[in-house]
Amino acid sequence: MSISTLSKITVPLDSNQSASNQGLLMPKLQYRFRVMLENFGVSTPTTELTKQVQDVTRPNISFENTTVDVYNSKVYLAGKHTWEPITLTLREDVNNNVQKLVGEQLQKQFDFFEQSSAASGADYKFVTRMEITDGANGANTVGILETFELYGCYIESANYNTLAYNSSEPVTVTLSLRYDNAIQTPQGTGVGTAVGRTVNTLITGGGA
C-alpha cells in the first residue's frame, strides 16, 4: 500500500470539518508512559519507583446530582465532584528500594511504632505525575504528549499481594492513591484549562 493512500483511511466527515487529505492520527499507546512521585517517602531519589511501575489507572471523576424541582418538572445540575482513587502497581526490586519508600510513606501517614497520626496533611501528602510519552528512548529526548498532575495524594491502601510456588511472576505491591485534585498539562489540553461559558442561556437547554 502506498503511503499516500493512508490519507484516505479515516472516518468520512463534512468538508468543513476535516481536510480531504487528513487521515488517521497516530494514537497514544498504553505502554508509553511513566509515573513520578514527588515528596513520597523520605529517601531520595524516588526514581526507582518510576522504573518499577507495572501499571497505573488514569484519573476518573464523577459529579453528584443536584435536583431542582421547578413547577411540573425537574432539572438536574452538576453538584460536587469527586476524583476517584487511582491504582498503582509496583514491582519490588531485590534491593528493597520500592518496599523501603512505600514503608516510609506509610510511616509518614501514621507512626505504627508510636501509634500516632501526622499533625496535618502537609506532613505526608505528595504529588503524582503521570505522563504519556511519544516513545523516545536512549539518547533521544522523550516527548511528553500528556501529563496528569495529581495533588494532595496519600496512600489509601497498600496491598502486598501474593507469593506462590507455582508462579515466576515478579513480587508486586499495589497502592490505592487518594488525591484532592487533578490537572492536565500543558494548559489547553484538558482538565484545568479555563473555558468560556455561555451567559443567559436557559438551564433547560433553550437559547435566547
More confident residue, 32 or 196: 32
Domains and CATH numbers, the chain: 34-58+85-185 (2.30.110)
> What count of other Cβ atoms lies within 10 Å of the Cβ of residue 138?
5
2: pLDDT strictly greater than 50: no
Contact residues for 153 (Cβ-Cβ < 8 A; gap 6+): 37, 125, 126, 127, 128, 177, 178, 179, 180
38-81 tens-digit pLDDT: 999 999 888 989 999 999 999 999 999 999 999 999 999 999 99
Report the phi/psi class of residue 203: left, alpha or beta, with left for phi > 0 and alpha for psi in -120 to 50: alpha
Residue 19 confidence class, pLDDT cut points 50, 70, 90: low
Share of the chain above pLDDT 90, in %: 66
